[in-house]
A and B are shown apart, each in its own frame.
Chain A
Amino acid sequence: MSSIDTPLVEVRNLTKHFGSVIALNGISMVVKPREVLCLLGDNGAGKSTLINTLAGVHRPTSGDFIVGGKSTTFYSPRDALDAGIATVYQDLAMIPLMSITRNFFMGREPMVGFGPFKRMDMKFADEVTRDEMHKIGIDIRDPQQAVGTLSGGERQCVAIARAVYFGAKVLILDEPTSALGVAQTSMVLKYVNQVRNSGLGVIFITHNVRHAFAVGNRFTVLNRGKTLGTYEKGAISIDELQNLMAGGKELQALSDELGGTI
C-alpha cells in the first residue's frame, strides 16, 4: 500500500448530463484509505448518478476522475471492479431466483480444470460463501438456497461480504441501512467500521445523518448535483449537517412544527 495520504479515489468538478438534464454539476470529493466518507444528500441530489459514475455504469460528461493517483476512465462496471472499486447497490444487484453461492460469485466465478473440462468450482464456492457469511456473524443454512429466501438484512450482508471478499480497495455502499431494522442496522454499521479498520476506503451514501455520524470520518454534502462542502467529523454537529443537507431553514421550521423530531 502506498502512502496513507494518497487518495484511493479523487474526483474534481465531475459533471454528468443526460440529454438536457444536468444530473451532476460539479462534484469534487476525495476518499483515502482507512476512512469512511459519507455522501449525504436528499432525494434528487445526484447520489445515485454519482455512484453509477464511480462504478463505471455511466461515463462522466466532464471533470477529472483519478484512481490511485492516475487519471482514469471506466468503460464498464468490470473496469471499476478491476480497479478495486466495488459497489453495493441499494437494490443489491442480487438475483432472488439464484442461490446465495451463485450470487456471491456472479461475474467472478472460480474455475477448476483445463480446456473443455473447465468448470465452476462449486464446492469451493459453497465453502467460501459459508465462511464469509460466518465471519460477519450470519449462519447461512444452505449456500444453495435462493437469495429470495433471505431477509433484507441478510441480503445486504451477502452483498457487502461479496465486495470485501473480492479485494475491493474502495467500497461504495448505497444506502445500506435504509431498509433495515435497528439491530440489523447496527450490525451493518459495525461491519462498515470493521471494513474501514482493515484498510479500505468506504464511500457511505445515506440520507440518515445519524447513521452517517456513527461511522463517518468526513462528510460531503450534495445538493442539486453539486458538492456543498466537505466537513471533518469534529468540525460539524449532527444538527448542522442535517440542515445543510436539507438546504437550510425550511426544514428547521418544519422540524420545530413537529416538535424537533426529524
Chain B
Amino acid sequence: MSIVADDKIKKTPADERLKKASVATTLLRRPELGAVAGLVLVTVFFLLTANPSMFTLAGIMNFMAPAAQLGILAVGASLLMIGGEYDLSIGSMVAFAGLVFGAALVVWQVPLSVAILIAILMAVVIGVMNSQIVIKTGLPSFIVTLAFLFILRGLTLVGLKWASGGATQLRGMKEAAAGSPLTSIFSGDAFQGLFAWLASNDLIAKFPNGTPQVSGIPVEILWFIVIALLATWVLLRTRFGNWIFAVGGDERAARKSGVPVVRVKTVLFIITALCATLVAVLTVLDAGSTDARRGFQKEFEAIIAAVIGGCLLTGGYGSAIGAFLGSIVFGMVLIGLTYTSIDQDWYLVFLGGMLLVAVMFNNVIRKRVTGER
C-alpha cells in the first residue's frame, strides 16, 4: 500500500485543467470518423444480408471499381471543399474531357500520350476559368460551376455530333490507343503476373483451367488509392495543405497572414478538373467509347462522398481519406444491393439518407472541435 502512495507523490503534478482526453474524444477530433463508422455499418449490413460472394476477391473488385471512379472525383472535390469552394461542373467535365480525349485519339489521330496531354491542358484551362470567374466576381462557386455544369454538358453534345458525324457516341479509342506504352498505365489490370502466381499456388480463387478468377487489380483502383494517399499527404504534411485549410477556414484571415489565396483556389479548381479528366481517360480507354451521359450527376455523388468523409459544407475542415472511405461506402451500396434480395432502386433512398445523417453528424463534430456551444 505504502509503495503505491509513494509513487503518487513522486509524480510531477499534472496540469489540473487538463481533462484526461478519452479515446472517444481523440477519435471524435478526426474528421474521417463518420466515414469509418459508415463503412463499418455498411460492411456489417452486407455481411448479414448479402450473398457471401460479395466479399470474395472478385466481389471486392466489383464494388471497388465504381468506388474508384467516383473516389478520384471525390478526393479532388474534398480538397476544394476544404478550401471553401464547390465544383458542380466535374460530372460534365468527365464527359467533356472524354470528348476532347476521344476526339484527339480518333478524329485527329494523335498518339495516346499527345491525346492525354491535350486533355490535361484543356482541364487546366477549364480549372483556371472556373477559379478566375469565382475569384474575380466574388460570386458563390456553387452558381458559377452550376453554369459550367450545363455549358460543358452542352458542348459535349455538340462536339460529339461534330466528331462522330451526328451521333452522341464516339467509338474506336481502344484500337487507336493500342500499342502505346501508356496504355497499361491507364487501362486494364495491374499485377497480372502476381495474381497468376497466387492462383497457381492456390492462394486465390481460380477457374478450372488454372487462370485466376481475378486477373489483376484494375488500374483505376490503384489510381484511386495513390491519389487519396497523395491528397492526404499534401493536406496534412505540406505547406500547401495548411494553406488549403486556412483559405477554407477564413479567407480574410488567411490573406492577412500572407497566404496566397488566389493561387491556392486556382490550383484547387485545376485539381478537380484534372481529377475529372483522369476519370474520363480511364473510363474511355476501358470502354473504348465515350458518350454524352458520361459522368452524369457525378458532381453530386462526389460532394456527398466528401461530406460522408467529414468535409464541412462551410469549408476549412475535412479529410481526403474520409472522401476515399465515403466513396467505398458508395461503391458497396451500389453494387452490394445486387448481392441481396433488396430492390436496387433503394440505392437512391440510401444515398439521401446517408447524406442527411453525415451532415447532421458533421455539425455535431464541428461544435465539438471549436468548443462552440
The chain A residues found within 8 Å of chain B, CB to CB, are: 55, 57, 76-78, 81, 87, 89, 91-98, 102, 105-109, 111, 118-120, 122, 139, 141-142, 146, 148-149
Contacts and interface: CB of A to CB of B under 8 A. Distances in A.
A221 to B, nearest CB: 26
B372 A148 contact: yes
Given A106-B257, A149-B369, 18 more contacts: A77-B257, A81-B258, A91-B253, A93-B253, A95-B250, A95-B253, A95-B316, A96-B249, A96-B370, A97-B249, A97-B312, A97-B370, A98-B249, A102-B245, A107-B246, A141-B17, A148-B369, A149-B371
A105 B243 CA distance: 10
B237 A120 contact: yes
B259 interface: yes
- Most chain A CB within a 10 A radius of its CB, from B18, B243, B257, B260: B257
Nearest to A101: B242
Contact of B254 (A95, A111, A139): A95
Nearest to A80: B258
B366 interface: yes
Contacts of A93: 250, 252-253, 256-257
B306 to A, nearest CB: 16
B21 to A, nearest CB: 8
A95 B370 contact: no
Given A97-B249, A98-B249, A102-B245, A149 B370 contact: yes
Contact of B239 (A111, A139, A142, A148): A111
Those 5 A-B pairs whose CB atoms lie nearest each other, nearest first: A148-B370, A95-B249, A107-B258, A149-B371, A107-B257
Contacts of B211: none
B233 to A, nearest CB: 8
Contacts of B316: 95, 97-98
- Most chain A CB within a 10 A radius of its CB, from B17, B233, B242: B242
A146 B21 CA distance: 14
Given A118-B238, A122-B237, A146 B370 contact: yes
Contacts of B245: 95, 97-98, 102
Q: Taking chain A's interface residues, is the majority helix, strand, or loop, or is none over half, making it mixed? A: loop
B224 interface: no
Interface residues of B, number: 32
Contacts of A141: 15, 17-18
A5 B370 CA distance: 46
B256 A55 contact: yes
Nearest to B21: A142
B324 interface: no
- Most chain A CB within a 10 A radius of its CB, from B253, B312, B372: B253
B256 to A, nearest CB: 4
A118 B241 CA distance: 12
18 contacts: A55-B256, A57-B255, A77-B257, A95-B249, A95-B250, A95-B253, A95-B316, A97-B312, A97-B317, A102-B245, A102-B246, A106-B254, A107-B243, A108-B258, A118-B238, A120-B237, A139-B15, A146-B370
A60 B189 CA distance: 61
B258 A78 contact: yes
Given A96-B370, A97-B316, A108-B258, A120 B242 contact: yes
A102 to B, nearest CB: 6
A97 B257 contact: no
Contacts of B18: 141
Contacts of A106: 242, 246, 254, 257, 259
Interface string B9-44: 000000101100100000000000000000000000
A94 B253 contact: yes
Contacts of A120: 237-239, 241-242
